[in-house]
């Protein structure tokens, strides 16, 4: 058996996720007591669970470095979590700070994830794919996915990477 195949065979089959939506507008609506439509977070949870994994935590934070750092730090301390999936705040708007907040916490960045995501996205949406700064990394033995906030982007990213996540978690845990 080759090493990659052996790693995949040894990887944990069912993973525990946190799904975090980063959105100032949705956060403000919830803070004011309004009902929040979180299509991307709902879709991420649905796709994760359809693969047999568990979403242990769902959170909504504002496009605020302190809130994003806090939710990541809390996730790093939870020994049961395998993956922290953030959706939103990855564009080029002045308020988009997910990447600037998460990337310095990465012990390893998985550059290829963003490269493949943008390549596949280009086939669907053209040059606008270049505006996505989607990335992934490993920190505190957890996989962190930073996805754009659109439902189509969440679907594309998880379709691309879901089969590989158990292997990445296995490697991140020191295989």
Tell me whether residue 34 is in a domain: no
The answer to whether the beta carbons of residues 147 and 153 sit under 8 Å apart is yes
Between β-strands 83-87 and 16-22, what pairing exists: parallel, antiparallel or unpaired? parallel
Tell me whether residue 106 is in a domain: no
For residues 27 and 3, what is the distance between their CA atoms, to the nearest angstrom? 44
**Residue 131 to residues 30, 41, 93, 115, Cα–Cα distance (Å):** 28, 21, 10, 12
Between β-strands 54-61 and 83-87, what pairing exists: parallel, antiparallel or unpaired? unpaired
Q: How confident is the model at residue 29 (pLDDT cuts 50, 70, 90)?
A: low
pTM confidence score: 0.91
pLDDT at residue 139 in the model: 98
Tell me whether residue 69 is in a domain: no
**DSSP per position, 81-144:** --EEEEES--SSSTT--HHHHHGGG-SEE-HHHHHHHHHHHHHHHGGGGGG---EEEEETTEEE
What average pLDDT does the segment 104-133 reach?
A: 95
Tell me whether residue 65 is in a domain: no
Which residue segment(s) compose the domain that 87 sits in?
16-26+40-50+80-91+132-175
Tell me whether residue 156 is in a domain: yes
Q: How confident is the model at residue 1 (pLDDT cuts 50, 70, 90)?
A: very low
Structurally, how many domains does the chain consist of?
1
pLDDT at residue 129 in the model: 93
Q: Which long-range contacts (CB under 8 A, 24 or more apart) does 113-119 make?
A: 113/145, 113/157, 113/160, 113/161, 116/160, 117/153, 117/156, 117/157, 117/160
76-102 confidence digits (pLDDT tens): 999 999 999 999 999 999 999 999 999
Tell me whether residue 56 is in a domain: no
In the predicted structure, residue 32 carries a pLDDT above the cut 70: no
Is 126 exposed, middle or buried (CB count within 10 Å of its CB: 0-12, 13-18, 19+)? exposed
135-163 confidence digits (pLDDT tens): 999 999 999 999 999 999 999 999 999 99
Q: The domain that contains 161 carries what CATH number? A: 3.40.980.10
Tell me whether residue 105 is in a domain: no
Tell me whether residue 120 is in a domain: no
């Amino acid at each position: 058996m080759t090493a990659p195949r052996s790693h995949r065979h040894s990887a944990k089959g069912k993973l525990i996720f946190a799904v975090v939506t980063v959105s100032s507008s949705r956060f403000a609506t919830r803070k004011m007591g309004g009902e929040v439509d979180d299509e991307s977070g709902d879709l991420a949870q649905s796709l994760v669970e359809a693969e047999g994994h568990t979403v242990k935590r769902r959170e909504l934070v504002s496009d605020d470095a302190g809130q994003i750092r806090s939710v990541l730090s809390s996730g790093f301390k939870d020994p049961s979590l395998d993956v922290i999936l953030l959706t939103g705040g990855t564009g080029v708007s002045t308020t988009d700070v997910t990447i600037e907040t998460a990337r310095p916490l990465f012990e390893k960045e998985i550059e290829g994830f963003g490269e493949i995501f943008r390549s596949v996205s280009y086939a669907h949406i053209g040059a606008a794919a270049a505006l996505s700064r989607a990335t992934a990394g490993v920190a505190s033995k957890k996989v962190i996915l930073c996805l754009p906030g659109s439902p189509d982007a969440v679907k594309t990213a998880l379709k691309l990477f879901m089969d590989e996540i158990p292997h990445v978690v296995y490697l991140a845990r020191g295989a």
